[in-house]
Amino acid sequence: MSSARPATRRSRFLALLPGLGLFTGFLVAWLSSTGRERETPPMHVGRTEARRHPQLRTQRRSAVLRLRRGEPGSGGYYGAWAGSTDPQIVRHIEFQYEGMQHQAETALSGMWLFLTTEVVFFGGLFLLYMVYRLRHLDGIAEASRHTELWIGTVNTVLLLTSSAVFSYGVGRIKEGDNRRLFWASVVTVGLGLAFLLLKFYEWWDDLQKNLFPGPGFAITGSHSGSAQLFWSFYFIGTGLHAIHMIIGIGLVAWVAWSARRQRYLAGWFTPVEVVGLYWSFVDMVWLVLFPTIYLVDRVGS
Amino acid sequence: MKPWSVLAVWLVLLLLLALQFVAAGLPILRGAVPVIGLGMAVLVALTFMRLGSSRGLTPAFALAGVFWLCILIGLGSLDSFTRHDIGISALTGAPRIQHQSSE
């Protein structure tokens, strides 16, 4: 009994810990929210709050109007005016940034952080392939020779070209040339669609040749199991890449649409740069997929 | 990027692609094929993605991506690359059993 008492005390204390954590969390959240309420300038009043309180709505509307006109001191609570006097640029600076440069660097860093997660995402796939390839070298090499090399090569050229063209467009919008950015984006979308069409044709062709893993698989014999592993990797890898391509095409089309409306400025083109990063990343993934799937095991074929 | 530098990088990438085909045709250069692919990816990151001229947190995040990729692939493949399959027959002297689906 005597030994049970400290254990009970300890367990009670441990049971209190989550409650203590929750209480501290609520306390911090309450303190920070009350602080924000006091310090928030009118232009940062949320739309919901503004809808509920007419007084806030009027304040918010006038502050946003003055902000859009680029009037100095019209709500630049966090120093949003620093580094730029052009009202057209200033209206794109969100309240939490010191200026356009700060905002652009944050956006680009954020995109790179996202791409880092993508690197690890695709890295897991390549790790799986490496391990299986080591264990089933001959079977995977044989399966790889059933891929359509010419389609893979043409697709590689298409992607490299699209990345170069969009990069050219980013360079032109730095000079404020929306027209050239528009055409660069249109060409990029066209090249991306051509890539996808070829990829869809290739998948259709693979299915016709019974290369989808499962019953009736085309490659028989002792290497059949390893070949099915390769074709599983092939369909998953190219499928995930194609999903990224579709998202990328949508984003580049949005850039084209915005450039058509002369939305971007020489001093503000962060969305174009961010979309360019994504598009080139999709290109990078393909540059690793292509030799892995199509080329590396052609030796001796 | 200036138009001529975009063009130059694009031509270098096409050249590297052609080099991949040459390497794929020669058994001695077999290992160079994925390495050239990685080189092309790095070139795209440095030029088209402007990593070479970036500053602030951007290079740190990019390096973090490379670091975690190395950790993932290094630790993940450690077992496969270092394990040796020792047959029971080698330890006990018993006759070896032939597996039907072994490769």
Q: What is the pLDDT of residue A47?
A: 60
* C-alpha to C-alpha distance for A243 and A247, rounded to whole angstroms: 6
Confidence bin at B83 (pLDDT 50/70/90): confident
Contacts 24+ apart (CB under 8 A), A27-33: none
Please report, as a single letter, which amino acid is at residue A30.
Answer: W
Model ipTM?
0.84
Residue B96 distance to chain A (closest CA, Å): 20
3-state secondary structure of A190: helix
**Stretches in chain A below the pLDDT threshold 50:** 1-4, 35-42, 75-82
Pure H helices in A83-223 = 87-90, 100-135, 137-144, 149-173, 178-208
Q: What is the pLDDT of residue A276?
A: 97
Q: Whose structure tokens read 């009037």? A: A71
CB contact under 8 A, B37 and A120: no
Residue A76 distance to chain B (closest CA, Å): 24
Contacts 24+ apart (CB under 8 A), B33-38: B33/A291, B33/A295, B33/A296, B34/A288, B34/A291, B34/A292, B34/A296, B36/A291, B37/A287, B37/A288, B37/A290, B37/A291, B37/A292, B38/A287, B38/A288
Residue B43, Cβ neighbours under 10 Å: how many?
A: 18
Q: What is the pLDDT of residue B94?
A: 66
CA distances from A217 to A146, A170, A182, A214 (A): 12, 46, 46, 6
Q: Please state the pTM of the whole predicted model.
A: 0.77
Task: List the single residue in A138, A161, A287 with the smallest CB-CB distance to B10.
Answer: A161
Backbone angles phi, psi at A71, to 5 degrees: -75, 125
Residue A114 distance to chain B (closest CA, Å): 9
Residues of chain A with CATH 1.20.120.80: 102-295
Q: What is the pLDDT of residue A35?
A: 47
Q: What would the mean pLDDT of B48-75 be, rounded to a whole number?
A: 92
Give the closest residue to A293 by CA, choosing from B7, B34, B68. Answer: B34
Give the residue with greater pLDDT, A8 vs B95.
A8
Give the closest residue to B49 by CA, choosing from A114, A126, A238. Answer: A114
Q: What is the pLDDT of residue A38?
A: 43
Does any CB of chain B come closer than 8 Å to the CB of residue A222? yes
* C-alpha to C-alpha distance for B48 and A276, rounded to whole angstroms: 8
Task: List the single residue in B30, B37, B101 with the smallest CB-CB distance to A225.
Answer: B101
Residue A284, Cβ neighbours under 10 Å: how many?
A: 26
For chain B, the first-to-last Cα distance in angstroms comes to 51
Answer left, alpha or beta for residue A71, where phi above 0 means left and psi between -120 and 50 means alpha.
beta
Length in residues, chain B: 103
Q: What is the CATH number of domain A102-295?
A: 1.20.120.80
Does any CB of chain B come closer than 8 Å to the CB of residue A105? yes
What pLDDT digit, counting tens, does each position of A45-56 carry? 556 666 677 766
CB contact under 8 A, A295 and B2: no
Give the closest residue to A297 by CA, choosing from A90, A132, A181, A115. Answer: A132
Query: DSSP labels for chain B?
Result: --HHHHHHHHHHHHHHHHHHHHHHH-GGGTTHHHHHHHHHHHHHHHTTT--TT--THHHHHHHHHHHHHHHHHHHHHHHHHH-----HHHHH-PPPPPPTT--
* C-alpha to C-alpha distance for A90 and A137, rounded to whole angstroms: 59
DSSP category for residue A112: H
Does any CB of chain B come closer than 8 Å to the CB of residue A155? no
What pLDDT digit, counting tens, does each position of A251-273 carry? 999 999 999 999 999 889 999 99
Give the closest residue to A139 by CA, choosing from A221, A236, A235, A58. Answer: A221
What pLDDT digit, counting tens, does each position of B8-53 carry? 999 999 999 999 999 998 888 888 999 999 999 999 999 999 998 8
Q: What is the pLDDT of residue A82?
A: 47
